[in-house]
Amino acid sequence: MPAPSHRRAAVIGNPIGHSKSPVLHAAAYAALGVDIAYDALVADPQDAPDLAARLRDDDSWAGLSCTMPMKSALVPEMDEVSDRVARLGVLNTVIVRHTARGVRLIGENTDVDGIVRSLEVEPGSARNRLAILGAGGTAAAAVAAAAQLGFAAVDFIVRDAGRAASAVDLAVGFGLETRTLDVAAAGGQLSRYDAAVSTLPPRAADALVPALLVSAPRAGTPLLDVAYDPWPSALALAWDAAGGRVVDGLSMLVHQAVEQALLFSGRAEDDRELVTNVMCDAVGLPRPLG
């Protein structure tokens, strides 16, 4: 069955009040000339079955953008998941596909695209070891991004090595050399890293800064801190002061949202440049394209 001309989508999670996804998606759909209203909805893991039922029962839905704590909770509710989601075990996107046989829910993970495009590791630069702060759902996306970018190794910087077991197994499955380090151990060898990604929630890295920045990264080494609110984070400020290059957390948000907007609207990859540029404009980032 065809989808209705007026459709809706939303970002879901908890907390969600700080999310800039509604601003990004509204800019994209206005530029594309498609009628999709985009909202923000509070949701917790126990809401996953009801959410899936709502998507199936209301034919106006185009999709969901999923933030914490919904990235794992919705995976069992999908009719189909991409190879990426099957491997990572987490999604950040639910595509509502309207077919002659009814509605199908498809899980995808565009966080990987967001990390890959945000790191902007220069061609020819070293891609040996990537530092990943945290070991949760976004860390899983960072592992896939590391493999896609051609890194040879990842270090998970965590407080509890036991909680990183799944992330370590995932990295090994991608053929990456893997270590688990505490903050003090990693802080003494920052110059070994060719890039870093903090996947920790907002403010969660603040207390780690004194121990982590006891040494300096190599000049210009990029750090992507995915927590974009508040910005700049304490970690970003310290990394910049130590001579590294900071990638605004909004960059990842934009690039993963671009892929979602194309999926929700059914538009072609030819529209990626337009959507990227208007989303950057919407949140005050420099345009990377065009």
Q: Which residues are catalytic?
A: 71
Residues 6+ apart with CB under 8 A from 162: none
Report cis status (omega within 30 of 0) of the bond before 15.
yes
Sign, CA torsion 181/183/186/188: negative
Amino acid identity, position 263? L
Query: Percent helix, strand, coil in the chain (nearest 5)?
Result: 45, 20, 35
Q: Are 285 and 260 in contact (CB under 8 A)?
A: no
Cα–Cα dist 223/198, whole Å: 7
Return the closest-CA partner of residue 154 out of 192, 114, 119, 121: 192
**To 5 degrees, how large is the angle CA 99–CA 105–CA 110?**
120
Cα–Cα dist 75/86, whole Å: 9
Q: Are 98 and 200 in contact (CB under 8 A)?
A: no
Cα–Cα dist 10/37, whole Å: 8
List the structure tokens of 167.
């992330």
Residues 6+ apart with CB under 8 A from 284: none
Cα–Cα dist 120/117, whole Å: 6
List the structure tokens of 183.
């903050």
Return the closest-CA partner of residue 132 out of 85, 84, 183: 183
